[in-house]
Structure 1
């Protein structure tokens, strides 16, 4: 199995073609932005406006040397601001036409965020095994985002932990390269634009028509793929680990 998914075989070329063939047509430009945002809200993903790229590698926010340009919410109150209300999202999209949007995790959904190559390998393994995989987004900065149901509910506080606890260095050996966005975290929701001159984006490769799965059904394959990726590409191990939100 290691040779099949860990090595660079013809399967990788087929996988790249498979992924490209499933990118929504709307991702090629901004014409489908508002319908995709509304579809995300209708699927239960709470949204809030985010920063967008400025010329060069800049950010639309006022912070000098922003460490996460175009990848963060506009408001510090993003957790309470996030909503699935259609009218509010339409107003935001109309009045802030350049804005990206984030979706707050840990309320309805979580996101398992892995290095791109590890995620691609895992996606094929999951689908080949007949495991239900929900929406998946690809970020051109080298990540694949698996959208899942959240782990808990506000009524079950003892079973919750804030996202920062998933980011401690001591967990890297267990889950190398994996970021579990849950309570207190967020990710960019497609379609989103990233800084740079190459038109980098965050786009769906599996759409919101796929139901959100239980994260634990994906976790073993994702962590295994991340461990293999870390072994193959040791220079990327630290880069794959997240900054705290």
Structure 2
């Protein structure tokens, strides 16, 4: 990929972010019920999460390392629900809360840097499935899950598996499966933007291995381009 192509991909990512920043956060909250219940109707388990507050987090943890990006309860894995009535009560009880969807039962999420996400979207086209922009740095690709085999012994781990406590160990490609979660649109991101759908959740979930193959190539391409740019600037 030449320099002009790479600049074009970055421009598209910047365009998504400008649209997120222009949208009134109040309007996003008004749409929250519709968007969260859409995910529930798809069979995705959800639970309420903290939200950014001033320069910190709505939780009571001093110096929270992930403001607005974690569930309210430490029991989120058992708390997550696909019952619309139960989720509706959460929505009413916590009007400012973000929501997360728990991965590894009905869907997985492949999570990549924004530049790689833009490139992969071009390559995948209609095969991409649901895709969301999560803040200025990450793009989330929702896929079918590999986390619930008929024979539990057939479940296979992957070095890309991402859990909430290991996100810093995966700055590139992350695979959210069992034991992880991601923010759902229209969550408020600590960057000041909203998590937004690029391709909606009604899109069929693709095979994760097909998406993984394209994302891996995209991350390699963007990484090589970034390294080349750094070398040129250093000269």
Question: Which residue of the partner structure matches residue 172 of structure 1?
Answer: none
Q: 1:132–1:213: 8 Å Cα contact kept in structure 2?
A: yes
Question: Which residue of the partner structure matches residue 221 of structure 1?
Answer: 214
Question: Which residue of the partner structure matches residue 134 of structure 2?
Answer: 139
Q: Which runs of 5+ in 1 are unaligned?
A: 169-174, 235-245
Q: Which runs of 5+ in 2 are unaligned?
A: 164-169, 228-235
Distance in 2, Cα, partners of 1:64 & 1:164: 31
Distance in 2, Cα, partners of 1:39 & 1:26: 21
Out of 79, 86, 104, the residue aligned to residue 106 of structure 1 is 104
Out of 118, 139, 152, the residue aligned to residue 157 of structure 1 is 152
Give SS of 1:147's match: strand
Change (3 A) 1:26 1:125: farther
- Over aligned residue pairs, what C-alpha RMSD do you find? 3.0
Out of 87, 90, 93, the residue aligned to residue 91 of structure 2 is 93
Higher helix share: 2
Question: Which residue of the partner structure matches residue 57 of structure 2?
Answer: 59
Question: Which residue of the partner structure matches residue 31 of structure 2?
Answer: 32
Question: Which residue of the partner structure matches residue 178 of structure 1?
Answer: 173
Give the alignment's TM-score, normalised by structure 2.
Answer: 0.82
Q: 1:151–1:160: 8 Å Cα contact kept in structure 2?
A: yes
Change (3 A) 1:229 1:69: same
Change (3 A) 1:230 1:84: same
Deviation at 1:195?
2.2
